[in-house]
With several copies, the nearest count.
Chain A
């Protein structure tokens, strides 16, 4: 069964927005996704009918709200097949999740003479936190390079991992669309005695995630890319790892005892959730997980493979060599995210002309400057799809590129 995309689109009010009297074609879902009515309504209904501080207060409404909040944690835990809800830490976004990994686990475990492994296709969120810490602690950062067909070059992986304490890598490139072999990478890490941290931002919204099958030690992702609200992200990690990690942010909720001279930490997951959490946003994320489960992650993945095929054919049929797609050609090995160069027109100009046709793509370095340098582009235009993307979106993109040709 494939998705009934037309029906799904009706659930996303933004998709019927018109600009200049014409429909819009949103092709920037790798950046952030739109929100279905059920998520928007879950948030506003909660604020209207059930809002309450959680955890710290004990009256009936507060425990009702706490239950809703913890219920969402269980939903998220189930969604990624975590061992226990207490392994799910709510952050503000995936960037905070990765900073938490670096500042808590990294600060406690990395020093002079140590090394970690990253890849050339990481997002800045999985580079800069490690660079910041490395500057202070003096450990080494090693890089997994790319093959010419936009895959990770694993030929020297074992060597890179030798003596390394962790590898942190993206499960799917936000620029190339490349899906990385997470399981193989996690196994190689463990064989070398390193832990495996997975940046799941681009895969968790688009395909089934199973942290047990993956064998990961930590997984970071963001709500706003998976039909959920902004303001909340997730760090999942194995319980034993979280237990051993020092706290990250200090404050209310994460302590068990505070004296003038010292403090002790609360149990998981509270230890890592200092201050008032994004209560409403977590409720919204729970609704997004329900929505994705209802639609079905397998079906979403299948739909995106179909769309990838469709887009590939449509773009190359019309433009041939005039368009260069930076990324694997096999749709099974990639997500529905296309970075491309169109003739020698600057991506900023491409996106400007597309914008005029209500075709919304992103142009720039996509927060992956090292990768851009490696693929030899200063910027690319990127069209990225999701469960609600349809052939009309792709057709509009293909047609609008004609206008780019006519201007430049």
Chain B
């Protein structure tokens, strides 16, 4: 028996087995590609943003359970949210992953929901990159949409 329950929580495996919002969106939705060169994971994030709101989002690509589950959870939480909320959640998530410091500017009342389950990843530093791949790609997509 393994001690991996922390990493592979049921909700993570659920998102991995039944990913939400998996697929593509046709233009004018934007498509942003991300990759983790070390392990070969690749992801595409499709974004339909209008009036400062993420109206729709999809992801495709391949990767390990953590990167796939994290992307799935991400789409679930950001869909329908205003951009400011999306960015705040992303920031909060990166703080959870210990790759961004809490500079006090993030509202403390942000609910991460399912995503909290990913905090076990922190104990496995090499997997942090997997967990944030989708998020970083999303942020890149938002940056290019808003310009």
Q: Do chains A and B touch in the complex (CB under 8 A)?
A: yes
A407 with B2: CB separation less than 8 A:
yes
A348 with B39: CB separation less than 8 A:
yes
Q: Report the Cα distance A367→B65, complex, angstroms.
A: 22
Q: A352-B7, A403-B2 are in contact. Are A266 and B13 (CB under 8 A)?
A: no
Residue from A56, A352, A363, A408 in contact with B124 in the complex, judged by beta carbons closer than 8 Å: A352
Which residues of A, 310-333, contact B by the 8 Å Cβ criterion?
none
Q: Mark A366-390, 1 if CB is under 8 A from B, else 0.
A: 0001001000001100000000000
A75 on the B face (CB < 8 A):
no
Q: Which residues of chain B have C-beta atoms less than 8 A from A353's C-beta? A: 2, 4
**Smallest beta-carbon distance B74→chain A, Å:** 18
B4 with A364: CB separation less than 8 A:
no
Q: Mark A246-258, 1 if CB is under 8 A from B, else 0.
A: 0000000001110
Residue from B4, B40, B130 in contact with A407 in the complex, judged by beta carbons closer than 8 Å: B4
A403 with B40: CB separation less than 8 A:
no
Q: Which residues of chain A have C-beta atoms less than 8 A from B42's C-beta? A: 378
A138 on the B face (CB < 8 A):
no
Q: Report the Cα distance A36→B40, complex, angstroms.
A: 33
**Smallest beta-carbon distance A271→chain B, Å:** 11
Q: Which residues of chain B have C-beta atoms less than 8 A from A403's C-beta? A: 1-2
Q: Which residues of chain B have C-beta atoms less than 8 A from A63's C-beta? A: 125-126
Q: Which residues of chain A have C-beta atoms less than 8 A from B2's C-beta? A: 353, 356-357, 403, 407
Residue from A58, A67, A408 in contact with B65 in the complex, judged by beta carbons closer than 8 Å: A408
Q: Which residues of chain A have C-beta atoms less than 8 A from B63's C-beta? A: 346, 348
A41 on the B face (CB < 8 A):
no
A372 with B40: CB separation less than 8 A:
yes
Q: Report the Cα distance A408→B17, complex, angstroms.
A: 9
Q: Mark B8-25, 1 if CB is under 8 A from A, else 0.
A: 100001000000000000
Q: Which residues of chain A have C-beta atoms less than 8 A from B113's C-beta? A: none
A55 with B4: CB separation less than 8 A:
no
B4 with A352: CB separation less than 8 A:
yes
Q: Which residues of chain A have C-beta atoms less than 8 A from B130's C-beta? A: 348
Interface Cβ pair total, 8 Å cutoff: 69
B62 on the A face (CB < 8 A):
yes
Q: A378-B40, A403-B1 are in contact. Are A348 and B62 (CB under 8 A)?
A: no
A243 on the B face (CB < 8 A):
no
Residue from A56, A266, A346, A407 in contact with B64 in the complex, judged by beta carbons closer than 8 Å: A346
A364 with B13: CB separation less than 8 A:
no
**Smallest beta-carbon distance B99→chain A, Å:** 14
B3 with A356: CB separation less than 8 A:
yes
Q: Report the Cα distance A377→B123, complex, angstroms.
A: 28
Q: Mark B79-123, 1 if CB is under 8 A from A, else 0.
A: 000000000000000000000000000000000000000000000
B37 with A255: CB separation less than 8 A:
yes
Q: Which residues of chain A have C-beta atoms less than 8 A from B124's C-beta? A: 352
Residue from A55, A67, A408 in contact with B38 in the complex, judged by beta carbons closer than 8 Å: A55
A149 on the B face (CB < 8 A):
no
A349 on the B face (CB < 8 A):
yes
Which of A352, A372, A408 is most buried by chain B, counting CB atoms within 10 A of its CB? A352
**Smallest beta-carbon distance B71→chain A, Å:** 13
Which residues of A, 44-64, contact B by the 8 Å Cβ criterion?
55-56, 58, 62-63
- A sample of 8 cross-chain residue pairs with beta-carbon separation below 8 angstroms, ordered by A number, consists of A256-B37, A346-B65, A348-B66, A357-B2, A364-B38, A364-B40, A365-B39, A403-B1
Question: Which B residues contact A (CB, under 8 angstroms)?
Answer: 1-4, 7-8, 13, 35, 37-42, 62-66, 68, 124-127, 130
Question: Which A residues contact B (CB, under 8 angstroms)?
Answer: 55-56, 58, 62-63, 67, 255-257, 266, 345-349, 352-353, 356-357, 363-365, 369, 372, 378-379, 403, 406-408
What are the 4 A-B residue pairs with the smallest beta carbon separation, nearest first? Answer: A348-B64, A346-B64, A256-B37, A365-B40
